[in-house]
Each structure stands twice: as C-alpha cells, then as structure tokens.
Structure 1
Amino acid sequence: MIRETIVTTQSAAGEAHLAPMGASVVDGGYLLQPFRPSRTLDNLAASRVAVVNFTDDARIFAGCITGRHRSWPTAPATRLATAVRLAACLAHDEVEVERMEDDPTRPRFFCRTVHRETHAPFLGLNRAVAAVLEGAILVSRLHLMDPERVDREMNYLSVAIEKTAGAAEREAWDWLCETVADHRARAAS
C-alpha cells in the first residue's frame, strides 16, 4: 500500500525541505523512494531521518509541486532531534533509515517508524482533495506525458472540484491549472 504524504527532511545546515511523496507501507515503517536528483534524497542520505506527514490540506501538495507557498510552517519533531514535521499535519510518523538500496533513478530507503503522533482528527474524505492530489501527480509529470492525456485527466478530475471543493481545494486546483498553462506556453515558444 502506498500512502500519499508530505515527507519532511532537513539539510545539514538545518534547512527544512517538504516533498509530496508516496510512502510505501512496509513492516515496521515505510519505503521511501525519492527520485535522483532531489533535495529529499540528499537530506535523507545525509541525516538518515525524516518525518512522514499526513495532511488533508490539498494546498500543501499543490503548493510543493507548483512552487507556490514553499514556506509551509514546520515544527520540531518529537523524538528525532534533527527532524521537523509539517506544523499543519493531522498526524506524523518519525522515521529512521535502516538501510538504503542504491538505484540510478530512485534509491530505496527502508525506514523504521520510531514515533507516531496524532495532532488533529481526520474528519472524512473529500473528493476534491483526492482530485487535487491526482492533479498534482499529473503536473509533476508534465514533461513525460502526452498533452492530450493530461487534458483528459484534468477534465475528469475537474468534476470532483466543481462538485465538492471548498476554498482551499479551489485555490490548489487553480495553481495546478496555471502551471499546466505555463508549461504549455513555454513549450509553444
């Protein structure tokens, strides 16, 4: 099973980095597979710790992917002194790297959960949040995907936005749509 999360890591200089990431659930923790090159990969390899954050704020996923509002507030992790968590998360798992398997594209970090904490209740599913999440994944792969497929999938996802979105989901969706339009304009010029 893969859980869509925000993974927080820190550089050696103490700079927090947030990245949307599918965290594969494994016995005792998670398998994290950041792409090469990435700050998440560099931070995780150096510090050997991370925090897997669970949030239902679609803006954080879309904001990280589109470059908007990159300064999402963080807070110190509870058990890991060199880690931070997303301040607005519903819950978080603090993890330590047990082993790494190198790969030219996506190294595999097998992480053990050392602390789990809940901060706020999960109040239910919202289809618009799921649509934004799927849209963010599409936007992260614009350079790999056929534009017609992107349009088809974004049009399909827009139905959930129209029917179920609140202000936060609409803002996040707008960021994704603007990023697609900007990508197309750059490609056309």
Structure 2
Amino acid sequence: MVSFDLKKLFRVPDAQQRLAGLHLRGDLQRAAGHMASDERSDAHLKPVEDLLTETESVIRIVEGTRDRRMGFLVLTTENVIFRLHGAAPGLGEVVPLGGVTDVTDDVKSMTGQVRLETAAGQLVVGKILGTQAAQFALDLREQLRSPGLTPRDPVAELLELRERHAAGLVSDADYRTAKAKLLDQL
C-alpha cells in the first residue's frame, strides 16, 4: 500500500511555516507552534507581543474562551496573560505569577478549562482544545514552584545532542537513550 501526506501533496504549510511569516518573537512563535489552532487565529498573535516585556519568556499559549469571547491565554516566566481576539492594541489582562493563589484544570471530552484564583478574583478560560488546558495548568504550577524557569525546547535539545554525538562527546548508547527521552517530550 502506498501512503502519502496530503498536506505535503497540496503544499499546506505546517504551523511553524505559517507563523514564520508573522515575524513574531522567537519564544512566542515556538509556543504558538505547539498550540492547537489554525490560520484563522494567526493574525491575533502579533498583538500579544505588545503585552510582553523584554525580560519575560513565553512558555505556553493556548486558545480558549472567556465570557464566550475567544482569546489567548499565555503563560510567561513572569505573568499569566489573557488577550481577547480583536481587542484594542495593548489591552489584555495581565496577572503576575506572584498574584496567582491557585490553579485548577478540568478536561471534558474534547475541551478543557483553566481556572486561576488570584487576589483580584478568578480568571476562567474554557473551550481549550484537547489536553492543552491540563498542560497549561501543569506548566503554571511548575512556574509557581520554580519562578523564572524557562523550559528547554526538546527539538533544540535534540539538535544539541546530535552535534555532541557527532563530535564524539556522547557515546552511542547514551545518545540513543537521551534521544528516546527527548522524542517522548514532543
């Protein structure tokens, strides 16, 4: 049986290819590339940059609804940000990590929800596709335990590992073991 990839056949760009044309910050582009979304959301990513400081790094971004309006929920090394699609430039809710008192997630069928408890009240974002809500909450809990920690990109680590192996700095057995662990993270 012959198999082929229809996306390649019809030259449908993958997420990273689509996002490259937006000229986003590298950390935002990487996080957005892992988000479950399509090209309809891409145009709403650029204004997210206006809410980011130069000192913070984007860890995860998910798309969901708040009060029946679609937007992005963004986790950085310093803040949790929610920005509605189509909001005026510079507008969004920014919650410093120090202001988050609790985070819970709930996954039902095909979507999930993230609920943040803050000193100012609750921030609830729902209709997040797949298991992204659970992953966002997990990453947020990790940031609350270890503030400022920037998770490594498994693809970048794979490339580094390959270079060290080619240079003879990593044995074949260690290379295979480390490679398998990193591939599990993708």
TM-score, normalised to structure 1, is 0.27
Q: RCO greater where, 1 or 2, for CA within 8 Å and sep 6 or more? A: 1
Structure number, greater radius of gyration = 2
TM-score, normalised to structure 2, is 0.28
